[in-house]
Structure 1
Amino acid sequence: MTQKIKANRLSLVVPVHNEEDTISMFYDAIQEVKPQITVDIDFHFIDDGSTDETLTILRDLSVKDDHVHYVSFSRNFGKEAGLYAGLKQAQGDYVAVMDVDLQDPPELLPEMLAAVQSGEYDAVGTRRADRKGEAKIRSWFSAQFYKWMNKISQTHLVDGARDYRVMSRQMVDAILSMSENQRFSKGIFTWVGFKTKYIPFENRERVAGNTSWSFWSLAKYAIEGIVSFSTMPLTIVTFLGLVSFGASILAGIFIVIRALISNTSVAGWPSMVTIMLFIGGIQMLSLGIIGRYIAAIFMETKNRPIFIAKEEK
């Protein structure tokens, strides 16, 4: 998949999964802003194992326009794998990541590209200034994730940041050097460094189709982000272990003293059960957190490919 980099070119990386209703609209929207962009544009669609007519549309579009390229996965590997595959395929010395559902405003592209071309910034990203149209409970959990992630991780995440961004070739190469299996792109974009500017915009709804991101999918993605960029949960487990150990020693001393003074040990069974449940709960929680980190290590040691391409053009 390695190809010669072409100068004066902007490569658009667009992961898609069951997006037969939005691809043509996205392509047309880019054509509308194309005259405002000073470099050539090519498209790199990554079909993440779609089961609808997405691949057929991409084939037809690539025949119609030589600037349209695509990679079709052998199955669904997830958006993170799609982003990685797209960045690997992208040829331009400027690379943009966009969603196909037009929630990422194409009209911002000229401004974003110009800022990177100026050399003042290595990347220009976007963030949602509001979450209008999104379920309140989902917005609340999202806000809490950014809040606590920034407290427990040294990698700062911008609240409301989208994957939508334009990056220099140097920054893309740095991202590709991180070939880890457990990927969390929002964290990786920040971790590699480079000077980045964020442009706020009002939240937009999908132009068509339904999102494949359920609440449970987002929750799992958030857990992957925490495991990938923070060891604070392990520190918390250590602290809880010390606290529970100290509490158990104090409780033991108290029980022995009470037994020596009043010899009414049978009457204390509720407190004993409570202590046992408390310590047992901490142990199960701790094992769960440690197990999640071990699972991440297990997946990395397998050294499996991040994606498998079945077809590409």
Structure 2
Amino acid sequence: MSNQSGRGRVAGLPAWDRCAVMGVVNVTPDSFSDGGRWFDTTTAVKHGLDLVAQGADLVDVGGESTRPGAPRVDEDEELRRVLPVVRGLAAEGVVLSVDTMRARVAEQALAAGAALVNDVSGGLADPAMIPAVADAGAPFVVMHWRGFLQGGNVRGVYADVVTEVADELHARVEAVLEGGIAPDRVVVDPGLGFSKDAEHDLMLLARLDRILGLGHPVLVAASRKRFLGRVLAGPEGAPPPARERDAATAAVSALAAHAGAWAVRVHEVRATADAVRVARAVEQARTTGGTAPVDAPADGPAGSPEGAR
């Protein structure tokens, strides 16, 4: 059953009446999905604007790859990559998230116009992160994280992945709240693909209600990840390349939206923007018995990029 009431809203960000779509701009040479395609600042800004035109509600800008085995980038290099893109997109009125594990990058990105900090370590990688976000009064994404994806951390071991992830996220949220970040500015993310096998990821999606039960808006970041490749390949086949997993990503987006996710983070926006709007229309039909009209796009004809916003 859908859990639309669990979607919630995040203080300091626009209130969307459906699952929001977070587009991804990786300003990196080595991200697993699209590393190097948007490494140039001008190209990255244009890509971010294209994502908004295709239906992204906000854009997540990151300058450090978190793929398994990726080396950490120098802090000054991360700043050099991220800040010009944040400034360029903020100047165009784009709602921005900064994807970083470093407090200094978060602080400077917020000052440059970002509205949200998306830290895959949930504040564990840099002890200065939580105080910095609290001082800025910014919303903060707390992802389930068991360390950098090196060695044994690439594959986590769980007796009950749903219970353990929910419990570990709960503990991390408590630490974040104790650190001064307001409860209405906390988002949780189950961390699909981070120290998890395909079976773990699928189980977490199947039981997203347990993550919603933590009482905070939920971000689902499944886009192009390994578990989708495993599903598409079947038991004997080779997983398709990351960029051939966008239809599967849109399917997860529709499922996550129906379950009550606050937002989905995706590389290819248009299909997911369509998927979350369909999920909302189905939910409206369920709650009204089909008597209410489906909302028409306010700024473009049906099917146009503008209408997908």
TM-score bracket, shorter-length normalisation:
under 0.3
| Larger strand fraction of residues | 1
TM-score using structure 1 length: 0.27
TM-score using structure 2 length: 0.27
